[in-house]
């Protein structure tokens, strides 16, 4: 049994990862600050799902709910720490009290457009917060970690597909710049302190438990409610949409890889090597939701890239990554999940 620390472990990707690690018999220390980017009760429900705890949460007082949550999730192999990665003392206390062996660092302020509105917050959470995790690891002798990066670091480069060997010095949003900064800082700590590192560049993750502010979730909610969809550009922008099951497969493969290797620093894409246009996304949602979209078109937004397209050959080579969820199937599953979980 290995003790893993998962930052952002109550979120979309993190809760799925915690669930899988627990299912494999490991111990998990989940760190999350339950911020107000979206309703905190969604994350509370993620915790209950990932630990297979059945008591529902439909209360209204955040402080009271969060104080009670660790007591209700009664699993000796799962520890929930409600804390902010910007709090260095809190991070130090977690690492001092737990025998953490590997860190999976997923906590971050996400989203391109919000980062343009508040770049200082993104720097504080994504860069300084990541350095706090690295400092806690250095101080307490934790020498292996995975860190979530993003396809956004590629910017609007024209070479396709995006390879880990491509230069990434033309980012077009503060969010992307902070993720690139984390990659550079990860290499620095690897070089100076021998922390084995895999930086995983996620490509547009979707699926069950997806955050409500992300496009697929938001579009489906609007379709179901008969609301107008606001789309930017002309519908030709393309994304490499990656289902959560394939991302978790990649995370687990990367974990196995880093646990068996020494003195490694790698940057690895996790995508599907397949792209879908914005209008194709909407049409797929229309088919599976059974509703026609009423679309309002607006100009392109600053910071949005034209396309993302992952070269996944390195992930295949290093740890056998093999995404298997077809986009049509993934959307069908998401619609089924959404309708079953609509109360959240």
User: What confidence tens digit (pLDDT) does each residue in 154-176 have?
Assistant: 999 889 999 999 999 888 899 99
pLDDT tens-digit map of 14-28 = 999 999 999 999 999
Q: Over pLDDT 70: what percentage of the chain?
A: 97
Q: With beta carbons less than 8 A apart as the criterion, state whether 272 and 312 touch.
A: yes
Distance CA 291, CA 285 (A): 8
Looking at residue 58, its pLDDT comes to 56
With CA atoms as reference, report the closest residue to 240 among 291, 275, 278: 275
Q: Where does the pLDDT of residue 344 fall: very low under 50, low under 70, confident under 90, or very high at 90 and above?
A: low
5 and 94 Cβ atoms separated by less than 8 Å: yes
Cβ-count burial of 224 within 10 angstroms (0-12 exposed, 13-18 middle, 19+ buried)?
middle
Q: Which two tokens stand for residue 291?
A: 């509703």
Q: Specify which residues 295 forms β-bridges with.
A: 229
Question: Which residue in 175, 189, 321, 338 is the catalytic one?
Answer: 175
The reply to whether 126 falls in a domain is yes
Percent of the chain with pLDDT over 90: 77
pLDDT tens digit sequence for 182-236? 999 999 999 999 999 999 999 999 999 999 989 999 999 999 999 998 888 888 8
Mean residue pLDDT of the chain comes to 93
Q: Assess if residue 316 is contained within a domain.
A: yes
73 inside domain: yes
pLDDT at 279 over 60: yes
- Position 296 in a domain: no
Residue 339 lies in a domain: no
Question: Does residue 30 fall inside a structural domain?
Answer: yes
Per-residue b/e over 180-219, b at no fewer than 16 CB within 10 Å? bbbbebbeebbeeeebbbbbbbbbbbbbbbbbeebbbbbb
| Cα–Cα distance measured from residue 45 to residue 240, given in angstroms and rounded to the nearest whole number | 28
Neighbour count for residue 304 (Cβ, 10 Å): 15
Question: Domain limits at 266?
Answer: 3-205+243-272+309-324
Active-site annotation holds for 321: no
Structural domain total, the chain: 1
CATH of the domain at 129: 3.40.50.720
């Amino acid at each position: 049994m290995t003790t893993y620390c998962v930052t952002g472990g109550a979120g979309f990707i993190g809760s799925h990862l915690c669930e899988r690690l627990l299912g494999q018999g490991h111990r998990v220390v989940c760190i999350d600050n339950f911020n107000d980017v979206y309703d905190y009760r969604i994350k509370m429900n993620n915790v209950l799902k990932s630990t297979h705890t059945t008591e529902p949460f439909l209360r209204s007082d955040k402080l009271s709910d969060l104080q009670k949550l660790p007591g209700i999730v009664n699993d000796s192999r799962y520890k929930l720490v409600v804390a902010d990665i910007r709090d260095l003392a809190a991070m130090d206390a977690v690492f001092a009290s737990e025998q953490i062996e590997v860190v999976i660092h997923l906590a971050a302020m996400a989203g391109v457009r919000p980062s343009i509105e508040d770049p200082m917050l993104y720097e504080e959470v994504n860069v300084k917060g990541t350095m706090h995790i690295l400092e806690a690891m250095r101080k307490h002798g934790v020498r292996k970690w995975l860190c979530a990066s993003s396809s956004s670091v590629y910017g609007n480069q024209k070479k396709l597909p995006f390879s880990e060997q491509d230069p990434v010095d033309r980012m077009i949003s503060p969010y992307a710049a902070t993720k690139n900064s984390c990659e550079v800082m990860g290499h620095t700590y690897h070089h100076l302190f021998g922390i084995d590192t895999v930086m995983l560049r996620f490509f547009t993750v979707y699926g069950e438990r997806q955050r409500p502010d992300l496009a697929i979730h938001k579009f489906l909610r609007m379709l179901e409610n008969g609301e107008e969809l606001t789309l930017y550009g002309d519908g030709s922008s393309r994304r490499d949409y990656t289902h959560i099951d394939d991302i978790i497969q990649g995370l687990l493969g990367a974990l196995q890889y880093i646990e068996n290797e020494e003195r490694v620093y790698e940057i690895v894409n996790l995508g599907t090597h397949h792209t879908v246009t914005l209008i194709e996304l909407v049409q797929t949602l229309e088919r599976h939701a059974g509703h026609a979209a009423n679309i309002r078109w607006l100009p392109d937004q600053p910071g949005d890239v034209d396309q993302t397209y992952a070269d996944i050959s390195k992930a295949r080579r290093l740890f056998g990554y093999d995404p298997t969820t077809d986009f049509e199937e993934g959307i069908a599953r998401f619609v089924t999940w959404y309708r079953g979980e609509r109360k959240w």
